[in-house]
Each structure stands twice: as C-alpha cells, then as structure tokens.
Structure 1
C-alpha cells in the first residue's frame, strides 16, 4: 500500500450490540504477508477520530512503521450505540479491549507488539484501560486528563457534586416517564463567552472545536445528561500504583499549569503514582493543552519523543 493509506472499518464483538467505527493507517511499503507492531489511538472527550487522534498522531505513527487504528468511542462519532453522546467510563475503557480483540484477528498485526496512545480525556481512559488490558505492552498519554476528577471539579465544592448527582437523577426520572433526552454542551456558545472565562483551556477548546482548525462532523463536544452519574463517581487513576506497570510516556505542556482541564496536574500525578519501572514525563516548554492536539510547537514536538518511544519499546 502507498504511504498514507487508510482503510475505514467497522466491527462488532460478542459483548456488543453496535459497531465500532475506526480508521486503519498503514505504514509505507505495507505488505500484508508480514507482521507489524500496532498502536491504538484514542480521541479526546466529546471528540472523534477525525480530530487529532486520527489526523495528527495516527499518520505520524504509521509513517514510522506501525499499523495504527484510530477509533470512535462507542455512542460517539461514527460508532454505534444509543443513547448518543453517552460518556460512560466503563464503556470507554472496555472499548480499548474491543479494539484489541479486532486487531488480533488481523494476520499482519503482531499480537505481542501492541501499544496505546490517548489524547486529553482519551489519555485518561488510555491509562485506565492499560491497568487491566495487558495486551497493551506500551502506553502513552498526551495531555491526558482524569475525566472523573475534572467533572467533580467543574461541579464545584460545597455540595456541588451531590447537587449534580441529584439533578441527573431528576433528568433520568423525567426520561423514564417519557420526556425527551437532554444533551449538554461542554463549551460556551461564542468565542467572546469563551474569552470571558479567562481560562486558557476553555478559550483554546472553542478555537479548536468551533473553527476550521479542528471542526469535524462528529466532534460535537456534547454529552448526554441522564447517565452522567458514572463519570462523577469514577477515577482514572484508581489502583495505578498496583496495576499500571507497562513502559509509560506522559506528555504535558507547561503552559497549561492553570488550565481548567487539569492535564498538567494529572500528568504529574500519574507519573508519580504509576507502578511502571520504565516511565518518562515529557514536559514541553511553551505548549498548551490544545497545542498538543495539532500545533508544531505542541504535537510536533511531542512526536519527536513519542515515535522513537514506540519504536524502541515495541
């Protein structure tokens, strides 16, 4: 196959009633009679495989000689599942194993050389999945955020989380009685409203998701409301001291120290907590959370370490 060749696939496992949509990226000179290391790439929260995971990181890793699969989470993107925009950590983590189940059926994938990389909330889910999915031999997180911690912080202190849980319960009751499902937007409605927050992560999220820079059909940044309790009670890093033992690369940007998404703090926390004997924390000077999505000073710099990391460890 030619450099840059991508195959669009859908697959379903025994534990699913819906399809997962994914893009397979092939390395230059691909020969299906040979075997290759494979890397699973996970998109951010509220995003899709056409944003950063599949159009920045997957092509670069494929160019370096790997078969790479960028997938849409269940209930999101082009993957199936109802209700739409569901953000359930249990399903998000299970998706990684579903993707590996598919990969190991491909004759050109070396089942003993599979790695995983996730960006933003996808990075947090990657770390959570790798605790129990030991078919992942190598793990990398790029500006990874612990979405449970993030949601609890956004709900607020002084009973904010409890109130949020009660509100979700009320919405679920309403829907059980026949009302329409509710979907919440994660971002302000305008660029000006985003700027008024004064927060670098919110401002740059709007710039990425709501402009030509990163806008994609399925990258809606929307969340189904009635099933949000699971996230509020979840922690991506639980038992990392015992279970997260693979070679590990954590990438963060130092410009994001005060960002609302907390990836800088999460990066330092998981680096300290992970059981991995072989672990690296890469802090990129002058890079923000969203620079690490697609900017040369962010993603471009990160890939200079990520590519050789996977090539060496796999």
Structure 2
C-alpha cells in the first residue's frame, strides 16, 4: 500500500493506493475507487475491508479521505459538502489516468453508506467510471431532510444554520457538533433506540472501527448544502453504467434499505442488480464477515464482467 495525494482544486486529497500481489509495472490493471461513509475515513470500511479485498482479487484500488476531512486538505474543517465530495471522485479518476499501469477504460467505483450515494451521483456525470457498486448507499440529502422528521423541522434547521453563518461572518467561533452520540450512555440518555445509531456507536467509538481520522465532528454552518441535495437526481437520465446495489434487510434510521430500492428503480442502467443480504444491518455490511462475504458473491463477478 502506498500513501498518495492528488489535487481537488487547490488542496490535496489523501489516499491509500493498493497494488495487487505480484504487481508488474509493465502491465495494465483495472482500478476501483473506494469511497468511505459519511463521518468515516479511508482507514475504515472503504479501505480496510472493501479496497483490501478487491486488491487481493487483482485490482488497483484507491481509497481516499473526503475533502475537508481526515488527512485530506480543504478549509474549513469537518465540512460535509455534497458537491465537493462528488468532485473528489472526478479528481480521483484524474489521478488514476496518470498512472501508466492503470487501464483508463477499466475504472470502477465502490461506495459505502453516504459514499455510495456520492459514488452514484458522481458516476452519472463521470463516465470514465465504467461500473458502480453501492454498499448500503444512503442519500445524504434525503437523510438530512427526513432525519428531521418533518419538512418544517428541516426548515427550522436551515434557519438555525443561517443564524450560525451570520455569527461566524461577524467573527464568532464555529460550532462543531457530532454525527452520532459519542457513547451508548449518551444515546440512552437521549432515548434513541434505533439500530443504525446504536451500531454506529459500536463501530465508530470502540476498537472495532475507531480511527483518529474519523473524529465524529461536523460543522454546523455547513449543513444547509445537503438539505437541498439529492444523491439520485437525474439517475433515470444519466446513470447508464452497469450497477450493483447491495443492502441489508434490517432497516434503520439511515434509510439505506429504501435508498437501495429507489436507486435501483431510478437508474437508467440496462445492466443492474440489487442484492438484499438477509439478516444484515447497515453496519454488518461494513465489516462483519457473514455480510461482507455475501456482498462479494455479487461484487466479484460484477467487476470481473464489467471492468
């Protein structure tokens, strides 16, 4: 594995480039861009699980930290900005096509959770990506709107964000909040029982998946960009590449189960498939062998056939 950097606008994107066993610089290899979930980083599921396994299968893989997050550059920090995260994919392709050993006609993408939603959106307008896999893809815009329970609650949040931006423009400090409670005790105190939130804490805040590049920090003044964004907008017109969608059948608050079906229905792709992993939750498909193994029963032949 090599730690590499490539540009998005004026800042560097930090990435882990994995090369297959018995790598030969004189050969041409298919390459797969691996995108991490919202609040995550390249060292977690996108890199350590999916990129690692794809590399074992003979692919060059590139797992990167989103702009404004992890080891990547971009100011301000802790920003979750959908258009910029989509641009990260285009810049990742720009980097891959400069590598002599990458076959530019055999570049794919795989995204997990929010990274899957971003990957779908990027693939619509980045047709150098020839095949797409989404794993428990979540539409961050939909989640931001419906996660507030009612449209009026979302409107109230936009009012609060506007006031915070005004305060920051006048010199006040930024407010940094969290994606999830930091402990199960915080979750219980807030009377949250949802399976996705419960398992998110288990993944991100314990040795199972914790990483310093995934600090559970979110900039409040940046939230408005996602509220009016739809990861699947124009999928029925522009998403034509082969598509493999993978979800678990244990639904939770993040909505990846329903988002998977929506993406399948909306995608224009003539070649598309949806796998529902029985008994798997959103976070089981991050790293649990029984779920990941079933996912790869589809992923392996899919990329073999389409890259």
Superposition misfits of 4+ residues, deviation over 6 angstroms: none
CA distance in 1, matches of 2:156, 2:149: 9
Q: Displacement, 1:10?
A: 1.1
Aligned with 1:232 (options 227, 232, 239):
227
Equivalence for 2:184: 191
- Spell out the pairing of 1:93-132 with structure 2 (5 A cutoff): 93-132=86-125
Aligned with 1:181 (options 174, 196, 200):
174
CA distance in 2, matches of 1:129, 1:264: 20
What secondary structure is seen at the aligned counterpart in 2 of 1:75?
coil
- Residues 158 and 133 of structure 1: CA distance in aligned 2, closer, same or farther (over 3 Å): closer
Measured against aligned partners, the alpha-carbon deviations of 1:133-165 in whole angstroms (never above 9, x if no partner) come to 000000010000000000111223151111111
CA distance in 1, matches of 2:210, 2:304: 31
Equivalence for 1:291: 284
CA distance in 2, matches of 1:168, 1:157: 17
- Spell out the pairing of 1:247-266 with structure 2 (5 A cutoff): 247-255=242-250, 257=251, 259-266=252-259
CA distance in 1, matches of 2:275, 2:90: 27
- Spell out the pairing of 1:1-314 with structure 2 (5 A cutoff): 6-13=1-8, 16-157=9-150, 159-195=152-188, 196-255=191-250, 257=251, 259-314=252-307
CA distance in 1, matches of 2:110, 2:217: 23
What secondary structure is seen at the aligned counterpart in 1 of 2:3?
strand
CA distance in 2, matches of 1:221, 1:238: 28
Check conservation: 2:182, 2:205, Cα contact below 8 A: no
CA distance in 1, matches of 2:216, 2:299: 26
CA distance in 2, matches of 1:97, 1:221: 26
* RMSD over aligned Cα atoms: 1.0
Q: Displacement, 1:246?
A: 0.4
TM-score by length of 2: 0.97
Gaps of 5+ in 1: 1-5
Measured against aligned partners, the alpha-carbon deviations of 1:167-212 in whole angstroms (never above 9, x if no partner) come to 0000000001111111110112321333541100000000000000
Measured against aligned partners, the alpha-carbon deviations of 1:19-45 in whole angstroms (never above 9, x if no partner) come to 000000111110011110000000000
What secondary structure is seen at the aligned counterpart in 2 of 1:217?
coil
